[in-house]
Structure 1
Amino acid sequence: MSDDLQTPVILTGALQEALKFVNTSLKMLKVEGAANKDGRTPSIWDTFAYAGYAHGENGDVACDGYHKYKEDVQLMLETGLDAYRFSISWSRLLPNGRGPVNPKGLQYYNNLINELISNGNQPHATLHNFDLPQVLEDEYGGWISRDIIKDFTYYAEVCFREFGDRVLYWTTVNEPNVFALGGYDQGNSPPRRCSPPFCATNDTMGNSTYEPYLAVHHILLSHSSAARLYWRKYRDKQHGFVGISIYTFGIFPQTNTEKDRVASQRARDFFVGWIMEPLQYGDYPISMKTNAGERIPAFTNHESKQVKGSFDFIGVIHYTNLNVSDNSDALKNQLRDFTADMAANIYYFIYLITPWGLRQELNKFKLLYGNPPIFIHENGQRTASNSSLQDVTRVKYLHGYIGSVLDALRDGSNIKGYFAWSFLDLFELLDGYKSSFGLYYVDRDDPELKRYPKLSAKWYNRFLKGRRTSIVGTIELEKDPSLVFVSQLFE
C-alpha cells in the first residue's frame, strides 16, 4: 500500500479551515446514455433494464452525458467542484470485452477527461460498476469464472495505458459486496443469478449458496491483479493510485444483549470484512470461513500474498445505518445462503439522517485496518423523483454527514476526499428514474434534458467556496427565496 497518497486539492476557508479534504460530486455510468451508439455493446445492466427490472426504464438516454459532457463540466465548474468520479463503460471501450479498442469510445473518454482537467477538475475513474460486458457473461458466466481475471486485467491495462497520463485515481470495482449479494444471492440486480428459495424472482439461474462468495473471490483476484500490474508498469511514470470501494453501514446491535452485540460484529465481518480482511490480512474473516465452510473459496498462498495490501486507498460508500439482532438458529438450516450464514436479522433505516454511523464506520477502518487512506465515494439522500427544487432534507443530510466526516477526520481517520452522490438526477440501478439523489434536477420532459439546480446545489456551492452556510434556525441567504433552509451543524 502506498504511503504517500496525497489529497489532490485542498479547500481553503471551508469550515474554518478544519475540513481540509477534497469535497466533490459523483457521476456514474448511467449518466452517459448513448447505450447503443458508436460501437458500444450491452452490459449486464442493460440486459437487466431491458428485461423490465428497473421499473420498465433503461439507460439508453439517461442524462445524455455522452453528448452533454461539456455543458455538465461547466456546471461542475460553476458549482465549485474540484474532482469528479465517473465510471468507464467496459463495453463502450472494448465492445467484445477484450481485443480491439473501440476508437469512438476511446475518443469520448479522452474528451471527457480533457474537458475535466482543462476546467481544473481532477478525474477519478471507476472501471466496473455493475456493468460487465454481456458478451463475457454469455461466454463463461462473468464473475463466477476465473477467466474474468485475465479479461479484467487486460481491460484495466487499456485504461491505464490510454488515460493514466491524466487520471491519477483508479477504483477497480464499485461495491463488490453489494454487487455479489444482489446479483448472485437475491437475484434483484445484474446479472440476476440466484436459486430458490433465496430468489427475489422465479425466472433466474444460478446458485445462491456459493456464487456470491465465488464472485467476490474472483473480484478480489482481478482487483489485485490490476493493482499490481499498475504498480509494476505504470506507477513510476504516471504517479497514480489504485483502490476499491466498499458499501458500508453504521452497524448497531438491536438490543444491548451479548448475542446481539456478537451478531453485529458478525454482520460487519460479512458486509465489510468480506472485502477488507483479504485486502489487509490476506484471508476472509474467521466467522465467514466457519459458517460458510467449503462454500467460500480458499486463497492459495500465492493468491493471499497477491491480494494482501493490494490497494492505495479504500472507497467508502455509505448512506444509512442498520440494527442487528442474533439469528443463530439460521445456522441449523441445511440449505443456506449468505444471509443465513451471517446468522443475523437486519433492520434498515433507509430514510433517516443518522450521520453518527458514518463516523463510527470510519473509526472502525482506522482501528481494524491500519487507518488506510479513504475517499468517501458515495454519500447522499434518496428521495422520490419530482420537479421540486426545494430539497431541504437533502441539505440537512449533507450538513450532518459532512459533519460526521469532519468529526472522523479530527478523530485521526486518514480521509482524503468526499464525493456527494450524486451530481445529477440519473438512471439508478434498481429505481430507474423513480428516485432522486441529485444536486441538479434533470427535466426529462424537455428534449434538451435541461438541468436545474436544487437548493442542495446552491448550498453545496457556498460550502465548497468556503462561504458562510448557516446559522441555527431558519435563514435566508442573499435574499434568494430558494435558499431558505433550516438548521446547520457548522458556523
Structure 2
Amino acid sequence: MFNRLSRRHFAKIAGWSALGLSTKSASGQTPSGTQAGPSNRGQPSSFPGHFLWGTATSAYQIEGAVNEDGRGPSIWDRFAHIDGKISDHSTADVANDHFHRYKEDVQLIKALGAKAYRFSIAWPRVFPEGTGAPNPKGLDFYNRLLDELLANGIEPFATLYHWDLPQSLQDRFGGWRSRETSKAFADYAAYVAERLSDRVKDIFTINECSRLVYSGYGAGIDAPGLSLPPQELNQVMHNVALGHGLAVQAVRAHGRAGTKVGPAENLVVCIPAIETPANIRATEIATRELNAGYLTAILEGKYTDGFLAYAGKNAPTYTAEDLKIISSPIDFVGLNIYLPHHYVVAADNAAGFSLLPFPKSFPHMESDWLKIGPEAMYWAPRQVAKLWNVKSIYITENGASASDQPVADGNVYDLDRIMYLRNYLTQLQRATSEGVPVLGYFLWSLMDNFEWADGFEKRFGLYRVDFNTQRRTPKLSASFYREIIERNMVV
C-alpha cells in the first residue's frame, strides 16, 4: 500500500522532476469558455451485473508464523527488527496470526458477502533461499487457504510479490539491484503457477513497483532500507519491470490453460484541476509521462523520450530484448488507488502541463499522506483504459486509515472511513457507467494489520483487530460494505 511518498518523490521516480514540470500554476491559465469534460450527473444506480466485490491483504502484514514450516527470512523480517525502523517498535513476527487462523478469516470475508479475495504468497515461505529447493510445507499453507476459500464460494486472486523478498537474495545479489533476482522471481512464478493455477485463475505479478523501489531502495524507509543514487535507482526499477515480464512469461508457460496474469501498480494519479478539454488532455500526457519508468514501459514496450532525456546518464542499462520481455502481453491491469498525486492544468511549456501545489488545508485521513480526492477513482482507470487500450481493469486496493477507537459500547463507528469509501465508490460507479472496463474492486483491507513502517499504529481494516488477543470485531464500515455488495450499488 502507498505510504509516506511525497508528490516530489513520485515525480522523481518517474524521471520527471525537471523538464518544465513546475509544481506552480502555469502562467497560461485554464482556457475559459471551453466545454467541461464528463460529469457524474445522471449516474445509473448500480454497478455492472458481473462486477466482482472483494477484499485484499498481503502475506507479511497478516500471516505471522515467520519461523514455521520451513519459511526463510525476508528483507522485512530483518528490517522490522532494526531499532527505529518501525514507528511503534513492533514487528510482524505474529501480526494477525493468519497462518493459524485462516479459516476464521475466510469466514470474515464470507460474512461481508464478498466473492473474491486478493492475497499474496510469501516468496520465502515457498523458496526459503529465494532459489534452489522449494519448500513443500510452505506451499501447503496456500493449498489449504485456497481450498478453504473455494469451499466458501470465494474466488482467489493471488499476488506473487508483495515486498517480502527472501533475505538470501538481498545478501547474495543485492536484491532487485541485480537481474539475478528478476530471473529468480520468474522461477518462483513458474513453480507457483504450475502447482496452484488449478484453483487460482488470476495472478498479479508484483505489487506497487513505485513504492518498493523508491521507499526501499531510494528513501530507505522500507526494507531493505537503502538510499541509492539515481542511476542505480532507475536500474532497480528496470529490474523489477523485467522481473514482472519474466513472471508473465513463466505463468503463461507453466499455468493451466485460462490462467490470467497482470501487474498491480499504484500508478501516479493525475486529475484535471477543472474538467476542460485542454486540462483533460494535459492530464493524459502527465499520466503517461509520470508513470514512464514502469507502467508505461509495460504497456508500450519502451521508455518515453522524455523519461530518457531527463534521466540522461542516469538512465537504466537495458536491451531491446528486455523491453520485449517487460511488455509481454497481459490480461488485465490492477490499480491501487488511494489519493490524487497531482492536480493538473494545461500549460504552454515543453511538457504541455503543469502540476498544481496542494494547499495546506487539503483534507486527509488519519495518515497525513492519504489526501482525500475521490475523483482519483474515476480518472485513473479512465486514463489507463484510454491511453493504453486496456480492456480489463481491477481496483486491487482502495481504503483508508482512521482512528478507529471503540466507544463505550465496544463498537467502532468509523464514519470517516465510510465517508471516504462512499465518495470514492461513487466515482468508480461514474467510471463503470461510462464504459470504463473495471471488472472488480478489492477493498484494503479485510482487517487491521501490520502497516509496514507504521507498525500497528495505522488501521485500515473493516474488522478491528486486538493484537493482544487476536480478536476480530466488525466495524461499522463492514456493515456498510456488506450493504454495497448486496445491492451492487453505492449506499
CA distance in 2, matches of 1:161, 1:233: 5
Query: Per-residue CA shift, 1:352-373, capped at 9, x if unaligned?
Result: 4321122011111121111331
Residue matched to 2:334: 315
CA distance in 2, matches of 1:101, 1:265: 44
Residue matched to 2:106: 73
Q: Partner letter of residue 139 of structure 1? A: R
Residue among 460, 477, 481 paired with 1:456: 477
The answer to whether the 8 Å contact 1:70/1:115 transfers is yes
CA distance in 2, matches of 1:278, 1:24: 29
How many angstroms does 1:18 deviate by? 4.0
The answer to whether the 8 Å contact 1:276/1:369 transfers is no
Residue matched to 1:225: 246
SS of the residue aligned with 2:71? coil
How many angstroms does 1:167 deviate by? 0.6
Residue matched to 2:265: 246
The answer to whether the 8 Å contact 2:126/2:134 transfers is yes
1:27 aligns with 2:50: no
How many angstroms does 1:261 deviate by? 9.8
Residue among 120, 138, 147 paired with 1:114: 147
TM-aligned CA distance change 1:133 to 1:190, over 3 Å: same
Q: Partner letter of residue 484 of structure 2? A: F
Residue matched to 1:185: 218
TM-aligned CA distance change 1:87 to 1:18, over 3 Å: closer
Comparing both chains, which one has the higher relative contact order based on Cα–Cα distances under 8 Å and sequence gaps of 6 or more? 2
1:130 aligns with 2:168: no
CA distance in 2, matches of 1:366, 1:372: 7
CA distance in 1, matches of 2:285, 2:175: 29
Q: Partner letter of residue 466 of structure 2? A: D
TM-aligned CA distance change 1:350 to 1:248, over 3 Å: farther
CA distance in 2, matches of 1:96, 1:137: 10
The answer to whether the 8 Å contact 1:193/1:208 transfers is no
Residue matched to 1:149: 182
Residue matched to 1:401: 424
Query: Per-residue CA shift, 1:271-328, capped at 9, x if unaligned?
Result: 42322221121111222111111312254222222222432111100101134689xx
Residue among 300, 304, 328 paired with 1:281: 300
Percent same amino acid among aligned pairs? 33
SS of the residue aligned with 1:171? strand
How many angstroms does 1:44 deviate by? 1.0
Query: Per-residue CA shift, 1:48-77, capped at 9, x if unaligned?
Result: 211131221110111100000001111211
CA distance in 2, matches of 1:190, 1:263: 35
The answer to whether the 8 Å contact 1:97/1:135 transfers is yes
Q: Partner letter of residue 51 of structure 1? A: I
SS of the residue aligned with 2:188? helix
The answer to whether the 8 Å contact 1:250/1:358 transfers is no
SS of the residue aligned with 1:321? coil
The answer to whether the 8 Å contact 2:398/2:444 transfers is yes
TM-aligned CA distance change 1:104 to 1:346, over 3 Å: farther
How many angstroms does 1:414 deviate by? 1.3
1:99 aligns with 2:129: no
How many residue pairs were aligned?
427
How many angstroms does 1:264 deviate by? 6.6
The answer to whether the 8 Å contact 2:248/2:328 transfers is no
CA distance in 1, matches of 2:170, 2:483: 45
How many angstroms does 1:17 deviate by? 5.7
The answer to whether the 8 Å contact 2:232/2:316 transfers is no
Residue matched to 2:462: 439
CA distance in 1, matches of 2:76, 2:244: 20
The answer to whether the 8 Å contact 1:385/1:434 transfers is no
How many angstroms does 1:34 deviate by? 0.8
Moved more, 51-60 or 136-145: 51-60
The answer to whether the 8 Å contact 2:404/2:459 transfers is yes
CA distance in 2, matches of 1:183, 1:304: 24
Residue matched to 2:20: none
CA distance in 1, matches of 2:424, 2:280: 25
Residue matched to 1:36: 67
Query: TM-score, normalization: structure 2?
Result: 0.80
Query: Per-residue CA shift, 1:331-380, capped at 9, x if unaligned?
Result: xxxxxxxxxxx997864864343211220111111211113311100000
1:234 aligns with 2:264: no
Provide the alpha-carbon RMSD of the alignment. 2.9
SS of the residue aligned with 1:420? strand
The answer to whether the 8 Å contact 2:465/2:473 transfers is yes
SS of the residue aligned with 1:441? strand
Q: Partner letter of residue 223 of structure 2? A: P
Q: Partner letter of residue 172 of structure 2? A: E
Residue matched to 1:425: 448
Residue among 79, 91, 101 paired with 1:48: 79
How many angstroms does 1:85 deviate by? 0.5
Residue among 344, 360, 378 paired with 1:359: 378
Q: Partner letter of residue 38 of structure 1? A: D
SS of the residue aligned with 1:39? coil
The answer to whether the 8 Å contact 2:238/2:293 transfers is no
How many angstroms does 1:89 deviate by? 0.6
Stretches of structure 2 lacking an aligned partner (at least 5 in a row): 1-43, 346-352, 366-370
Moved more, 77-86 or 295-304: 295-304
Stretches of structure 1 lacking an aligned partner (at least 5 in a row): 1-13, 195-206, 327-341, 470-488
SS of the residue aligned with 1:435? coil
SS of the residue aligned with 1:434? coil
Residue matched to 1:413: 436
TM-aligned CA distance change 1:393 to 1:289, over 3 Å: same
CA distance in 2, matches of 1:465, 1:191: 42
The answer to whether the 8 Å contact 1:278/1:308 transfers is yes
TM-aligned CA distance change 1:343 to 1:359, over 3 Å: closer
The answer to whether the 8 Å contact 1:283/1:299 transfers is no
